[in-house]
């Protein structure tokens, strides 16, 4: 299947999934303009089109309607009833909302989830102004689309599972090539350049941008961060930690972490082995808790408790996040009840969601051990999309 055809099929599946989540009398209204500059994540998810003029995409259980500028009309994919306009969309919008029997309008606004907060405040004011009550339109109820959109983004279709697995497979293949090629003296930036070359060769791109993906940390003086790779160089006995993923042409991506050691002729130090095993066991504790209906914070708590019980400090981030079209794909977060995470950790885990499970510890004198796996939630144990790292990997 050609890339554009594959992407269109995935977006059509998400549109249908969204419609099944809507109730009678509800209209989900996605508003966007100049989306090539200021993207609306929900529009990318269900339609995959960029628009220029003020544009509105209305979904009900039974219909999908697009109101766009005349010159954008032909770009809207199949599955939508398209209305083009020239000077003013207001009358067309009011007529469609009336025809659709809308009583409740859902808008993409959220205080906690950025991928459910795609509507700008200025455009929200315009939309509400276009739909003020009058003789032709009753008063409408307004609400956030975040509950619907969070579930839509996080619960993946079989096609999305396959797309993410494809991205995971390629990232793992790249890391195997890197591990075979790495030599003493390679700097963090050399590791990144090697992986970037593989991306270009294979028609992919780094999951979270060319400047910061991969995150690479070598040795005891390199602290984990999201900064671009630096100049710490590989020496015998050093640990190499990589946080890496690729995005493919259909838009779906991967996000995994692996840790390696450059041999120095000596056995792996006990402190390194113990830290690796503690991280592995903590991730397993999170996986054991990752079941439909479990709140996100409870999954995080299981992994956090296992790591602390092994004698290591708490990691200062969430255990896991949704994965799909974005590396942080919205929906429930597997994180602690910290104010910065708001309500995102209170939601339940759902079957067919895809999450990362990630944590790590710094080992004094050696470097950072960080592991991250990608998994699908099932009724029983999760499905591991990545080939789980069970032991410290050796370079060269």
The whole-model pTM stands at 0.92
Whether the predicted pLDDT of 36 surpasses 80: yes
Lookup: tokens for 131? 């739909």
Mean of pLDDT values over 184-209: 97
Whether the predicted pLDDT of 2 surpasses 80: no
pLDDT band at 31; cut points 50, 70, 90? very high
Lookup: tokens for 38? 């200021």
Amino acid 192: pLDDT: 98
Pairwise CA distance, residues 158 & 59, whole Å: 22
pLDDT band at 396; cut points 50, 70, 90? confident
Lookup: tokens for 179? 């591990």
Mean of pLDDT values over 304-324: 97
Amino acid 226: pLDDT: 82
Whether the predicted pLDDT of 15 surpasses 90: yes
Report CA-CA distances (Å) from 325 to 40, 44, 362: 13, 9, 30
Amino acid 4: pLDDT: 64
Candidates 356, 352, 308; CA nearest to 207 is: 356
Residues 6+ apart with CB under 8 A from 5: none
Pairwise CA distance, residues 299 & 308, whole Å: 15
Whether the predicted pLDDT of 1 surpasses 60: no
- Please write the tens of the pLDDT for every residue from 161-181: 999 999 999 999 999 999 999
Amino acid 8: pLDDT: 87
Query: Strand, helix or coil at 96?
Result: helix
pLDDT band at 353; cut points 50, 70, 90? very high
Amino acid 331: pLDDT: 87
Mean of pLDDT values over 350-378: 97
Mean of pLDDT values over 358-371: 96
Residues 6+ apart with CB under 8 A from 79: 12, 15, 64
Whether the predicted pLDDT of 104 surpasses 90: yes
Q: Which residue has the tokens 């983004």?
A: 153
Pairwise CA distance, residues 141 & 124, whole Å: 14
Pairwise CA distance, residues 354 & 352, whole Å: 6
């Amino acid at each position: 299947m050609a890339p554009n055809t594959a992407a269109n099929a995935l977006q059509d599946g998400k549109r249908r999934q969204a419609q099944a989540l809507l109730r009678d009398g509800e209209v989900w209204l996605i508003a966007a303009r100049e989306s090539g500059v200021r993207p609306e994540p929900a529009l990318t998810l269900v339609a995959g089109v960029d628009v220029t003029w003020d544009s509105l995409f209305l979904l009900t259980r039974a219909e999908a309607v697009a109101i766009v500028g005349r010159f954008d009309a032909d770009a809207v994919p199949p599955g939508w009833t398209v209305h083009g306009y020239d000077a003013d969309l207001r009358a067309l919008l009011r007529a469609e909302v009336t025809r659709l029997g809308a009583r409740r309008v859902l808008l993409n606004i959220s205080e906690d989830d950025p991928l459910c907060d795609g509507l700008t405040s200025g455009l929200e004011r315009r939309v509400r102004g276009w739909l003020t009550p009058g003789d032709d339109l009753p008063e409408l109820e307004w609400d956030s689309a975040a509950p619907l959109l969070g579930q839509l983004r996080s619960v993946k279709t079989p096609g999305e599972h396959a797309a993410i697995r494809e991205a995971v497979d390629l990232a793992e293949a790249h890391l195997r090539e890197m591990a075979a090629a790495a030599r003493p003296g390679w700097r963090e930036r050399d590791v990144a350049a090697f992986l970037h070359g593989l991306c270009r060769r294979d028609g992919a791109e780094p999951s979270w941008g060319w400047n910061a993906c991969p995150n690479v940390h070598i040795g005891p003086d390199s602290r984990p961060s999201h900064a671009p790779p630096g100049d710490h160089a590989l020496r015998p006995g050093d640990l190499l930690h990589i946080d890496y993923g690729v995005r493919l042409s259909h838009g779906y991506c991967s996000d995994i972490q692996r840790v390696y050691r450059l041999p120095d002729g000596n056995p792996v130090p006990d402190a390194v082995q113990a830290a690796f095993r503690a991280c592995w066991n903590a991730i397993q504790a999170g996986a054991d808790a990752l079941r439909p209906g479990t709140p996100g914070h409870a999954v995080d708590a299981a992994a956090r408790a296992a790591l602390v019980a092994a004698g290591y400090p708490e990691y200062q981030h969430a255990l896991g996040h949704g994965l799909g079209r974005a590396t942080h794909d919205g929906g429930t977060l597997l994180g602690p009840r910290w104010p910065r995470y708001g309500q995102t950790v209170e939601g339940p885990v759902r079957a067919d969601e895809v999450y990362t499970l990630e944590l790590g510890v710094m080992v004094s004198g050696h470097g950072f051990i960080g592991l991250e796996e990608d998994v699908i939630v099932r009724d029983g144990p999760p499905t591991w999309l990545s080939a789980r790292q069970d032991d410290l990997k050796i370079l060269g």
